[in-house]
Amino acid sequence: MHTLNRLHFGLTGFLLLLALFMLASNAVRAADTTATVVWFEEQEPGIDPYPVRYIVTPGYMRSDDGLDDGDFLLFDRRQRRIYSVARDTRTVLAIDGNGEPPKAPQTPAWHVRERADAKAPTIAGIAPLEVALVAGDEVCHTALVAPGFLEPVRAALQEFSQSLAVQQLRTLGHTPPEMQTPCFLSRYLYATDFHVARGMPLADWNADGKRREMTRYRSDMSVDEKLFVVPDDYALIPAAAD
């Protein structure tokens, strides 16, 4: 009888531990969400190339260097707000991207040039398209895009570009007149989404030596929802309004 009791309580304890484990596992899964993750390699003049990760869900887009606990930029797609989180200084720069997007002049000093790139390999069966933002004889920015590819990421990048343009319009008065060239105004104000409006960017570059190239991607990836939380104990710094 004593042996049977021990077996009974041993089995009961095991079932209790199993139940607790399942609850804990469900709690972990409940804290996860499904995202599309895209990695780029970015290059700026004078420094080595560095990786950048974009994590996109229906509600958010996060950009970082691939570390969950490092600095990051978070775009709240529903609220149209951008947060730049700096761990060392424990600060958050907040940008409000709500508002009417800048309206281009009736006769803009720029245009978008498109051409099929016959040399570029297809991706997911899609032939890439080369698009260039041109002002006069100057090519302001060029991109290789894939129409219809990774649409959730493309849409998030376009929303982000438009939100930045809203903020740029607010602070345009602080930009020296000599810097307000047709390339500057088109790239950062009136046609910020010239490339992402046409497809998912596979690569983009400009004459200043800045370049970005997609290296890999993964759809339907499980990520922790904590990645989309702005620390509430950091100092919040609103971006300039005018």
Structural domain harbouring 14:
1-30
* Residue 235 clears pLDDT 90, i.e. is over it: yes
- pTM here is 0.85
Determine, yes or no, domain membership for 102: no
Using an 8 Å Cβ cutoff, are 131 and 52 in contact?
no
Looking at the structure, do residues 184 and 229 belong to the same domain, yes or no?
A: no
Query: At a CB cut-off of 8 Å and minimum separation 6, what does 59 contact?
Result: 76, 77, 78, 228
Instruction: Please report which confidence band the pLDDT of residue 31 belongs to, taking 50, 70 and 90 as the band edges.
Output: low
Determine, yes or no, domain membership for 39: yes
Using an 8 Å Cβ cutoff, are 188 and 168 in contact?
yes
What beta strand segments (E) does the chain contain?
Answer: 32-43, 50-56, 60-64, 72-76, 81-86, 91-96, 111-116, 129-135, 138-146, 200-205, 211-224, 235-238
- Per DSSP, the residues of 105-131 read PSS-S-EEEEEE-TTSPPBTTB--EEE
Looking at the structure, do residues 136 and 210 belong to the same domain, yes or no?
A: yes
Looking at the structure, do residues 9 and 52 belong to the same domain, yes or no?
A: no
Determine, yes or no, domain membership for 104: no
What is the structure's pLDDT at 118? 76
Using an 8 Å Cβ cutoff, are 211 and 21 in contact?
no
Looking at the structure, do residues 165 and 212 belong to the same domain, yes or no?
A: yes
How many domains does one find in the chain? 3
Looking at the structure, do residues 147 and 171 belong to the same domain, yes or no?
A: yes
What is the structure's pLDDT at 241? 72
Determine, yes or no, domain membership for 63: yes
Determine, yes or no, domain membership for 89: yes
Determine, yes or no, domain membership for 106: no
* Residue 15 clears pLDDT 70, i.e. is over it: no
**Distance (Å, whole) CA 198 – CA 132:** 11
Mean pLDDT along residues 176-198: 95
| Token representation of residue 96 | 């409000």
